[in-house]
Homo-oligomer: A and B are copies of this chain.
Amino acid sequence: MGRPREFDIDAAVAAATELFIAEGYEGCSMDRIVQATGVHRGSLYAVFGSKRGIFVECLRKVAATSGERKSGERSDLLLIALVELAARDDEVRSICAGTISLWRTDAARELGTRLLARAGLNEGAP
């Protein structure tokens, strides 16, 4: 049925996830995502619909594999989602809420700890 896709969706999502974690949502452009994934803009839009669509897919992937991940990895993208998107995006907020509710640890402390680590704090002098 038609021309086969030349890129791996999961791989693109993984690459985009790393990018979002490193640069934030508003902080990284579609150009950067195209560059990091190696997938053409048009192809990304055909599959995910929008930049937000890409992010939501990344978030869903992290949520789905949350159990298998270390506490750092599973929190990083949530941080971005909570600070930049959740307040104005019901779906993102809902995914975040669902993910966190599955954690057994203290969510506030885990997120706060990871927040500081990601910012480069709590590992030496100011």
A15 interface contact, C-beta 8 A: no
A49 interface contact, C-beta 8 A: no
A8 interface contact, C-beta 8 A: no
Please pick, from B24, B82, B98, B116, the residue contacting A116 in the complex, using a CB distance under 8 A. B82
Interface residues on A, range: 20 to 34
- For chain A, what secondary structure do more than half of its interface residues adopt (helix, strand, loop), or is it mixed? helix
How far is A120 from B89 in the complex, measured between Cα atoms in Å?
10
Please pick, from B94, B109, B119, the residue contacting A83 in the complex, using a CB distance under 8 A. B119
Question: Distance in Å from the Cβ of A125 to the closest Cβ of chain B?
Answer: 8
Question: Quick check: B112 and A108 within 8 Å, CB to CB?
Answer: yes
For A84, give the chain B residue with the smallest CB separation.
B24
Question: Distance in Å from the Cβ of A97 to the closest Cβ of chain B?
Answer: 3
For residue A115, which residues in chain B have a CB less than 8 angstroms away from its CB?
Answer: 79, 82-83, 108, 111-112, 115
Known contacts A82-B115, A82-B119, A100-B116, then 10 further A-B pairs from the complex at CB < 8 Å, ordered by chain A residue: A24-B83, A24-B84, A79-B83, A79-B115, A86-B121, A87-B120, A96-B119, A106-B112, A108-B116, A112-B112
